[in-house]
Chain A
Amino acid sequence: MDIPKLSPTERLILELLSGDEMFGLQLVEQSKGALKRGTVYVTLGRMQDKGYVESWTEKQPAGAIGLPRRLYRPTGYGLRVLAAWEAAARALARPLKPRHA
């Protein structure tokens, strides 16, 4: 079985989205410079392809001008991948015990 890959940017997005659903620009603002406006939607699109996030357009009031914004939230699978990666990171960060103590 292939282990799902999770880049640092994807991990950050999943961490930010695990609190609440957000728009792309909100993610950029909340990331404090780690996410860029020019790449956030490319990454979100890729994450949607992988099944980590799902998205839908916001409901606009009648007569609203402009395009509707897109909201994002993590899927159950995305949260499981994040949890697995966090567990792996914690396991690797633990100091090694000597074998023959």
Chain B
Amino acid sequence: MMIPGRALHRLAARICSEKTLERVVEPALADLQKEYRGADASSVWRRAWIVIAGYSAILKAMAICAVSVSVAATDERRALIATLIWSCLIFVAATVLLLLPPLSIVEGNVSSEYLIQLLPQAVPLAIPVGVAFGVAFGMAGRTATRSVTKIILLSAVFASLVSFMTLAWAMPAGNQAYRESVARAAGHSGPLRKGFSEMTLSELDREAVIAASAGDVHLANQFAWSFHFRFALAAANLVLAGFVVVVGSRRVVLRSIGALVLCLAYWALIFTGEFLSVYRTVVPTFAGAWLPNLVLIATAVVIVSSRSSRLRASVVEAPH
């Protein structure tokens, strides 16, 4: 009989302390397994629900333990709280700034309907900006310890998931609803043809195949680049957070300038990647969409390895 929880147990054994594993994870897994065995084998939905409820409870417990156990020091807690507050503030500011241009073209009063429809297109761009500046300001003057880095990166993974869900489902639906609302207000009726940003991932994939089979390489590349870019932009949260934590200076001014340069560089690299893969076709669309992330990861690796080699050299040269 297949029993759920073995993979989660192996994962927990790797990442959790022995105490957390024994007292929190294993009892919760045992409950899940007991419930699963007790459920009627023919009821697939009941068993699926038991697995989902059990897994989410265990993951929640593991997250609580990760935060409460690993962030014991007051300074670490302060750094994380500051990072969270700064990230939220800058996220809200960036969202408002990104909403202003499309709202400014709306004639008459701006209704809450427009705001709700436009929010999903601003959120995936505002989250990475909030993450980059939030980490830069929150960690200013502080050293990123291992546990703080771990929690920031876990939070960035969560931000990436939110971004991805918005980019995959909420943004296409919101954009199309906004265009239709504006068209209706202007007296146009009937369905509007979807653009790249209004298509879902499956629609982009399908259109890329259709355009390629029709021999329109340029259009096929545009669809393919948009498809891959949704994944790449979602992953930007993790890449930017990792870059700022690993590479960032302790000085607040340097960190702030660094975050600004980082966001501008990322923005420039998005267009470079699109230009190289869609218009010049010198790199595959996948590589073009992921270019900003790849460049930042490579840069971080170079900076960190040059720092550690300088450190090694200084240790060797130090007088005894």
Contacts and interface: CB of A to CB of B under 8 A. Distances in A.
B9 interface: yes
Contacts of A38: 56-61, 64
Interface stretch (A4-12, A40-48, A76-84, A91-99): A40-48
Contacts of A45: 19-20, 23-24
A70 B26 contact: yes
B27 A69 contact: yes
B61 A24 contact: no
Contacts of A25: 31, 34-35
B66 to A, nearest CB: 11
29 contacts: A23-B27, A25-B35, A37-B31, A37-B53, A37-B54, A38-B57, A38-B60, A38-B64, A41-B27, A41-B28, A42-B61, A42-B64, A45-B20, A48-B23, A65-B3, A65-B33, A66-B5, A66-B30, A66-B33, A66-B34, A67-B5, A67-B9, A67-B30, A67-B33, A69-B30, A69-B31, A69-B34, A70-B23, A70-B26
Interface in B6-43: 9, 19-20, 23-24, 26-31, 33-35, 37
B33 A39 contact: no
B159 to A, nearest CB: 21
A65 B31 contact: no
A44 B20 CA distance: 11
A36 interface: yes
Nearest to B23: A45
B30 A39 contact: no
Contacts of B19: 45
Which 7 A-B residue pairings sit nearest by Cβ, starting from the closest?
A38-B60, A66-B33, A37-B57, A70-B27, A45-B23, A67-B30, A38-B57
Contact of B30 (A42, A44, A68): A68
B283 to A, nearest CB: 45
B23 A24 contact: no
Contact of B65 (A42, A65, A68, A69): A42
Contacts of A39: 60-61, 64
Given A24-B31, A45-B19, A67 B26 contact: yes
A42 B65 CA distance: 7
Interface in A48-89: 48, 55, 65-70
Nearest to A25: B31
A66 B26 CA distance: 10
Which of A23, A36, A45, A55 has its CB near the most chain B CB atoms (within 10 A)?
A45
Nearest to B57: A37
B22 to A, nearest CB: 9
Interface string B96-109: 00000000000000
Nearest to A65: B3
Interface in A5-42: 23-25, 36-39, 41-42
B313 interface: no
Contacts of A48: 23
A41 B65 CA distance: 10
A23 B31 contact: yes
B33 A41 contact: no
B318 to A, nearest CB: 44
Contacts of A36: 57
Interface in B63-90: 64-65, 68
